[in-house]
């Protein structure tokens, strides 16, 4: 399931993010890649531990906590703190699958790991600012291409093979992170999302005590109760 979420950040917030990111020091992104991914990763990243990365990442997390569509789609249990990357001058990231388990920052000594169920990319550059830089995600129905407006975000399974095509002009700036869901099975999570969206669409046109709406809501929560891992 690939889901887009519009307006995670407003255009003014994007402008403020870019003002700070464009003035920040960037380093080789290959330094944070795994052994195999390192050979196909050509981009730049902001130091994860920097004050800037932490502050902007927290702002993204606060915005997402107020977005029902994100909560419904991800059912987040744990979110890896957002990172920031930049592709320019032919920068690309070849086909790869994200690591299944990751240590949370600062948690290596305690061995606090999270499972990556969903990957997220929040675009911070408008599509006309750069050529190329398309996120390609392989799924059961073929390859889906994603290149969104600045401030919009895409969620896709971390288990999927995906890549970023070469940026031939301009710069592609984005935030990226991972989510461990309360419902790890993608099929179950998709069913819950579809059911929840149907309930949300019906709610404005029906009394809150309508037995049909109450029953649908009950089915949703009983399925969530059955499938969630807390």
Q: For the chain, how many structural domains are there in total? A: 2
Q: Are residues 217 and 152 in the same domain?
A: no
Per the prediction, the chain carries an average pLDDT of: 95
Q: Are residues 176 and 207 in the same domain?
A: no
Residues 66 and 122 in one domain: yes
The answer to the question of whether 98 is labelled as a binding residue is: yes
Residues 140 and 194 in one domain: no
CATH number at residue 214: 4.10.860.20
Q: What's the mean pLDDT in 90-113?
A: 86
pLDDT at 110: 63
Q: Is the domain of 150 the same as that of 191?
A: no
C-beta neighbour count of 163 within 10 angstroms: 17
Using DSSP's 3-state secondary structure scheme, residue 195 falls into: helix
Please give the residue range of the domain that contains residue 192: 186-227
The answer to whether residues 46 and 173 touch, using CB atoms and an 8 Å cutoff, is no
* Element (DSSP H or E) covering residue 14: helix 11-22
Per-residue confidence (pLDDT) for residue 106, from 0 to 100: 75
- In this predicted model, what pLDDT tens digit does every residue of 179-200 receive, in sequence order? 999 999 999 999 999 999 999 9
pLDDT in tens, 138-171: 998 899 999 999 999 999 999 999 999 999 999 9
Cα–Cα distance measured from residue 147 to residue 205, given in angstroms and rounded to the nearest whole number: 34
220 and 172 in a common domain: no
What beta strand segments (E) does the chain contain?
Answer: 3-5, 27-28, 41-42, 44-45, 76-79, 83-88, 92-96, 101-103, 113-115, 118-123, 130-132, 135-139, 142-146, 153-157, 162-164, 167-181
Do residues 11 and 99 share a domain?
yes
Yes or no: say if 107 and 167 are a contact pair by the CB < 8 Å rule: no
> Which of 166, 181, 196 is the last residue before a domain boundary?
181
Task: Indicate whether 202 and 109 sit together in one domain.
Answer: no
Q: What is the pTM of this model?
A: 0.94
User: Is the pLDDT reported for residue 96 higher than 70?
Assistant: yes
Same domain for 137 and 197? no
- The answer to whether the annotation marks 96 as part of a ligand binding site is yes
- The widest CA-to-CA distance across the chain, in whole angstroms, is 59
Q: Tell whether 134 and 93 lie within a shared domain.
A: yes
Please give the distance of CA 27 from its chain centroid, rounded to a whole number.
22
Verify that 155 and 208 share a domain, yes or no. no
Q: Are residues 104 and 33 in the same domain?
A: yes
Domain at 31, CATH number: 2.60.120.620
């Amino acid at each position: 399931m690939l889901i887009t979420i519009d307006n995670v950040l407003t255009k003014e917030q994007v402008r403020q993010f870019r003002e700070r990111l464009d003035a920040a020091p960037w380093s080789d992104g290959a330094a944070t890649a795994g052994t195999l991914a390192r050979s196909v990763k050509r981009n730049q990243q902001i130091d994860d531990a920097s004050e800037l990365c932490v502050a902007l990442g927290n702002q993204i997390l606060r915005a997402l906590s107020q977005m029902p569509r994100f909560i419904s789609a991800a059912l987040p249990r744990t979110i890896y703190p957002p990172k920031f990357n930049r592709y320019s001058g032919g920068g690309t990231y070849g086909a790869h699958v994200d690591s299944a388990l990751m240590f949370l920052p600062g948690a290596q000594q305690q061995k606090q790991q999270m499972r990556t169920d969903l990957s997220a990319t929040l675009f911070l550059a408008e599509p006309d600012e750069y050529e190329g830089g398309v996120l390609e995600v392989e799924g059961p129905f073929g390859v889906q291409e994603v290149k969104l407006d600045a401030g919009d975000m895409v969620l896709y399974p971390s288990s999927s093979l995906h890549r970023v095509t070469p940026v031939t002009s301009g710069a592609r700036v984005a935030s990226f992170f991972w989510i461990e869901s309360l419902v790890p099975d993608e099929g179950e999570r998709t069913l819950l999302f579809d059911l929840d969206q149907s309930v949300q669409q019906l709610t404005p046109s029906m009394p809150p005590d309508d037995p049909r709406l109450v029953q649908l809501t009950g089915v949703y929560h009983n399925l969530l109760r059955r499938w969630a891992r807390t």
